[in-house]
Structure 1
Amino acid sequence: MTLASRTQKSQRGFTLIEVMVAMSIFALAGIAILKSASEHLSSVGKIEAITFANWVASNRLNQLQLDPTWPPKNNAKGSMEMADRTWYWKQTVTKTNDNDLRSVTIFVGEDETHNNSVTSVVTFVAKPTNGR
């Protein structure tokens, strides 16, 4: 064997271009994973907020069912503490074709001005009977 053929056999490894291509692939994969994880965490936070807002709306609707006032008050507003946060609710009452039935929508959000609601829940409330 000559010296030149021994040198060629002993030089094994990656070229600079191969290393740079591999690093680029790993970098793109890392960026995609970080973006996916960030979006997942964001959606989990939104789902949590919607869940708590639905509970606040359900609590308000239960209070409304217990209130003997007829018809229910339109544009009533209030707040409720849940999960170490203050939730603001607003109710709108709409007349239906039946005079003894009203549609009530509860909007819930974390904004006191009620500009951005997290969720809304609709129910129907019947006029209380005399036996109540």
Structure 2
Amino acid sequence: MKLSAKITRVKQQGMTLLEVMLALIILATSGLAVMNAASEALKNQVYLQDKTFALWVASNRLVELKLEGEWPAASWKNEKEEFAGNSWYVRYQTVETGDENFKALDVEVSSQKEGSALAYIRTYIAK
């Protein structure tokens, strides 16, 4: 009797340790990627909320300045305002234009006293 004629097959049951470890590595890597994406999305949401509030504060201050009817000075004027439970630092100034009857009005808003502006609006006002 030849050996090649009698080949028996053994059925494999379960997974080897190497296969289990590889599956765990793939699962852990994909879990880290999902957590990083969720963390970045949360950071962006907070930034967009702050930027939106800063734009609202700038718009409100711009309307107040227009209603006062006086042109602010050509140097920066700093103020602190409370809005949505936070302190906002507003600064504004007028800028000369080519026409005496118009001036540009710049308004900047930041969440920190010495921080960079989250919102910036420029508009033009007439005498």
Q: Structure 2: which 5+ residue stretches go unaligned?
A: 1-7
Deviations 1:37-93 (A, max 9, x none): 000000000000000000000011001101222x32231111111111010100121
Q: Distance in 2 between matches of 1:72 and 1:82?
A: 22
Structure 1 partner of 2:122? 122
Structure 2 partner of 1:108? 109
Q: Is the 8 A contact 2:102 2:125 kept in 1?
A: yes
Alignment of 1:51-90 (within 5 A): 51-69=52-70, 71-74=71-74, 75-90=76-91
Structure 1 partner of 2:34? 33
Q: Structure 1: which 5+ residue stretches go unaligned?
A: 128-132
1:110 is aligned with what amino acid?
Answer: S
Q: Distance in 2 between matches of 1:33 and 1:92?
A: 45
Q: Is the 8 A contact 2:72 2:93 kept in 1?
A: no
Matched position secondary structure for 1:62: helix
Percent identical pairs in the alignment equals 34
Structure 1 partner of 2:4? none
Worse-superposed segment, 97-106 or 44-53: 97-106
| TM-align CA RMSD | 1.5
Structure 1 length-normalised TM: 0.84
Q: Distance in 1 between matches of 2:77 and 2:64?
A: 12
How far off is 1:112 after superposition? 1.7
Aligned residues: 119
1:86 is aligned with what amino acid?
Answer: S
Alignment of 1:8-47 (within 5 A): 8-9=10-11, 11-47=12-48
Q: Which runs of 4+ in 1 moved over 3 A?
A: none
Structure 2 partner of 1:130? none
